[in-house]
Amino acid sequence: MADKDFPGWHGTTICGVKKGGEVVIAGDGQVSLGETVIKGSARKVRRLSPGGYDIVAGFAGSTADAFTLLERLETKLEKTPGQLARACVELAKDWRTDKYLQKLEAMLIVTDGDDLYVVTGAGDVLEPENSVAAIGSGGNYALAAARAMMDTDKTAETVAREAMAIASDICVYTNGNLTIEKITK
């Protein structure tokens, strides 16, 4: 089957919110193939503990590609304990220059509770403005909703949950079955 004929894996929504001493990453559970929902309870947000440091990562894109990136990130974190920014930059450099990794189709949102980053295959390590990041097919909806709630008295978790609910109401590739991981500092 030619690439143009393949319906492709679509969608997910991952939202990261940093507010009031906590960072939350929330992800929906839907996996779609074309117009068909294949699974509704996938876990796209994971807790990593390389070298005893608590890291939370959420991924959008191809699952196998995302797991490859998570393994690589964990390796980088083991080499640079407690230095999330450095590990993300090293991963992004490898991702951009390694011919195998260049073909991976995924994005990550990662946090250690202090910092929040989006890591892309274009070699970007982005620290989001307004302490909110979102990726995936419903990412723009979740991002807009979360930003609108940042000046309220809502907690990071509430902002993430409500932003994900709004995204799942709008994006057909996002459901309301959430996985949420939180780091409080």
Q: What is the distance between the alpha carbons of residues 105 and 96, in angstroms, rounded to a whole number? A: 12
N- to C-terminal Cα separation, the chain = 49
Question: Among all residues, which ones are annotated catalytic?
Answer: 12
Q: Where are the beta strands (DSSP E) in 7-160?
A: 9-10, 13-19, 22-27, 31-33, 36-39, 45-48, 55-61, 106-111, 116-119, 125-126, 132-136
Backbone angles phi, psi at 124, to 5 degrees: -90, 140
